[in-house]
Structure 1
Amino acid sequence: MRPSLPVAAACAALALACGAAVPAAADSGPSVAFRMTDPRIIESSGLAASRLHPGVYWTHNDSGDGPYVYAVDSATGKTLARITMRGVPARDMEAISLGPDGDLYLGDTGDNLGGKWPEVWIYRFAEPKQLKDESIDVTRFTVRYSDGPRDAEALMVHPKTGRVYIASKNDKGGHLYAGPAKLSTSGVNVFHPVADVPWVTDGAFSPDGSRLVLRGYFWSAAYRWTDGTPRKIDDLDVPMQPQGEGVTFTTDGRALMYSSEGRNSQVWKAPLSGAALPDNVATSPATTESGRPQGGPAESATKDTGSKHAGKKAVGIAVLAAFGGLGYLASKGLRRRRRH
């Protein structure tokens, strides 16, 4: 999603002003992991960690690009492959997620008109075993929402059940929608709301399916996933980016990767701790190179988050005030008007 020029400038200035609120090179907070150096990637709007190719992340552009998905090497920031989806119009691609079947799911769910399209689409294809430029056939699913059209930028596939979820957004927040147990290619897949969520630009499930993380431009939060519904655990460290629209878990579930739109954009890594850690790694703490446990007990880490996030929120509020209502613009969706 591309905001107007004044808003984009304000977002960039906000990111610079808030830089002090994020530890740039500390083990306890977000730090830059790599940059996307491909000049074709200018509006990275979704992010997914590859299972077949360690250290590789899948991303794609927002509307305005073709039906392309890029495999980016986190060691170098270079694109290793560009996948072209045959026969796909690519109206407004907003999110990507990897399912338990080893397939990538791409959500053409954005709506630049603020929620007018009667239906949107999800495209599915197997994660390529070899990383090379190629054109592939995809499976297309038609999606409608039970309560009418929505603008949505987040699509998440649960890694255990395979059920697809979409998070919408509007002026006052959004909803988390659940799709059918199994998507159908023969008819319309109706998604129903299961929870209220904030104004979301992306989301991701942990590899074990026990945690859901949602993000916006200036916030991120962890949820415990139980019986198909989220329960908020805590606010998380999120880097201040020019236009943060992507998030995914690392394959070990111990950290989050945050991406942003923009040329040569940075991808940040944010280690998780305490209750935000997925269940399958919370009881197995990471170790340093010396073999000693890294960080303190999970319980104490959880207790420390209150003061940490209170301080970050105070900084954010002060900066937003300095920019004369940028928070209001963000709450209005940073809406753009494009030709369709």
Structure 2
Amino acid sequence: MTAVLCLTGALTGAAAPPPGAIPACSIDDPRLAELSGLVAEGPPGAAPQRYHAVVDGGGTARAFTLDPAGCAVTGTRQADVPVTDVEDLGLGPGGELWLADTGDNGARRGSVRLVVLPPAGPPRVHDLVHPDGPRDVEALLVGDDGVPLLVDKTTGAAGVYRPAAPLRDGGDPVELRRVAQVVLPWSGTGGGPLGAAGSRTVTGGGLSPAGADGGRAAVLRTYTDAWVFPLPAGGPATADALVTALGGAPLPVPLPGEAQGEAVAPDGRGALHSGSEARGLTAAAVTVVPGAVSAATVPQAPVVPQPAAVPEYRTYPSWLPAAGGAAALGALLVAGAVAMSLHGRRRRSR
């Protein structure tokens, strides 16, 4: 299929799509089974020196540092700040890690929280409230100006939100403002826990680092694909620039066969790193798509316009993927028990 697409690009003058995803590593550490946010940190033009990762869930604010060579945990950055449902991770302009405590499976939270963990010094805590009621959010983008964007998990048309006032460290929540929506194009990529609807359900976000080879882009991912939104060359990736980019045409990057993909991280070489939760008997894992961001920023990139009309999809409950994984594992265990029982009966009948 890649060869056909490349030939089509040559005939039409469009640039070639990026190559497919390459397995990077499986994550054996049980603390990272519910991998939901990923950052690839390193100098421009070079391979990442480290990953930072967060897992889905509550407790206290904590990010893990991993060695990209094998995804072994090498350290943590944490603070004694309570969190309810962390879903994504961003990297700020000063190297600080932004934890998006924004998950809301039951649409019951009165406010959500961003926890900022700097390389040194105390954490910052920013509480936020949605203007249109509770929203389940799994994607975070942090602009070069330190202004965050949240993208909700509504299937079909995902709302984009930014703070309506400067962030406060503690105190009353700052109200968010809905500034855009993203309507992802159709995708036929297989995988994930929700079928076709999962291909238009946003589960994570990322931003290319400053000085990245080939230019910069904002990236949103679903359970089946990453969508790369190119940014203008030369200028900073402010929150305003990110909102404008998210209204444009993205480049599709298929991520087929991932068990439950919820993390995405562009690096300084223009590659894209994708993280998937463990599901059933499949371990959490990271894959890499070389040249994915670079393919979106070149002239005549094979981007796909966003649909003018919002497709009709049901927004599935956020707990459904986890329930599906538990059901699949239960079915495997039941099947194993039945097989063992039948085997025992055959042995006794001999």
The TM-score bracket by the shorter chain reads: 0.5 to 0.7
Aligned to 1:157: 142
Q: CA deviation at 1:175?
A: 0.5
Residues 274 and 152 (structure 1), Cα distance of their counterparts in 2 relative to 1, 3 Å cut: closer
Q: Contact 2:228 / 2:293 at 8 angstroms: preserved in 1?
A: no
Whichever residue aligns with residue 29 of structure 2, its letter is D
Alignment partner of 1:81 is 2:65:
no
Q: Deviations over 1:262-314 (max 9, x none)?
A: 17411010123587445xxx5xxxxxxxxxxxxxxx54xx35x78xxxxxxxx
Corresponding residue of 1:247: 264
Secondary structure of 2:254's aligned partner = coil
CA shift in 2, pair 1:65/1:32, >3 Å = farther
Counterpart of 1:127? 119
- Give the superposed CA RMSD: 3.0
Q: Deviations over 1:116-167 (max 9, x none)?
A: 2110100001136xxxxxxx84211111122222110111101x22210000
In the TM superposition, what is the alpha-carbon distance from 1:90 to its structure 2 partner? 2.2
1:116 lines up with 2:112 in the alignment: no
- TM-score between the two structures when normalised by the length of structure 2: 0.66
Structure 2: distance between partners of 1:328 and 1:240: 21
Distance 1:150 1:67, change over 3 A: same
Q: Distance in 2 between matches of 1:112 and 1:244?
A: 17
Tell me the CA shift for residue 334 of structure 1. 4.6
Match of 2:181 among 188, 196, 220: 196
Correspondent of 1:37 among 28, 53, 60: 28
Cα deviation code 1:186-235 (max 9, x no counterpart): 44222211221252100111223842111110222122346432212322
Equivalent position amino acid for 1:46 in 2: G
Indicate if the aligned counterparts of 1:44 and 1:60 stay in contact, CA closer than 8 A.
yes
TM-score relative to the length of structure 1: 0.68
| 2:152 alignment counterpart | 168
2:220 partner letter: L
| In structure 1, C-alpha distance between the alignment counterparts of 2:30 and 2:267, rounded to whole Å | 24
The CA distance in 2 between the partners of 1:205 and 1:180, in whole Å, is: 21
**Partner-residue secondary structure (3-state), 1:245:** strand
- 1:274-293 to structure 2, matched below 5 A, reads 276-278=295-297, 282=298
Q: Report the equivalent of 1:259.
A: 275
In the TM superposition, residue 81 of structure 1 has moved relative to its aligned partner by: 0.6
Q: Which runs of 5+ in 1 are unaligned?
A: 1-26, 129-135, 283-297, 307-326
CA contact (8 A) 2:61 2:99 kept: no
Residue in 2 aligned with 1:131?
Answer: none
Q: Which structure's CA Rg is the greater one?
A: 2
Tell me, yes or no, if structure 1 residue 214 matches structure 2 residue 220: yes
Residue-pair matches, total = 260
Residue in structure 2 matching 1:68, options 47, 56, 62: 62
Inter-partner Cα distance in structure 2 for 1:118 and 1:64: 16
The residue type equivalent to 1:100 in the other structure is P
Shift of 1:66: 4.6
Identity of aligned residues (%): 28
Question: 1:245, 1:199 → 2: CA distance?
Answer: 10
Q: Which residue of 1 aligns with 2:161?
A: 177
Distance in 1, matches of 2:254 and 2:63, equals 28
Aligned partner of 2:288: which letter?
Answer: K
Q: CA deviation at 1:250?
A: 1.1
Name the SS of the counterpart of 1:29 in structure 2.
Answer: coil
Using the TM superposition, give the Cα deviation of residue 49 of structure 1 relative to its aligned residue in structure 2, in angstroms: 1.6
CA displacement at 1:76 relative to structure 2: 2.1
Asked whether the equivalents of residues 233 and 276 of structure 1 are also in contact (C-alpha less than 8 Å), the reply is no
Contact 1:214 1:222 in 2 (8 A): yes
Q: Which consecutive unaligned segments of at least 5 residues does structure 2 have?
A: 1-17, 183-199, 233-240, 305-311, 324-350
Deviation of 1:174 after TM superposition, in Å, equals: 1.9
Letter in 2 for 1:207: P
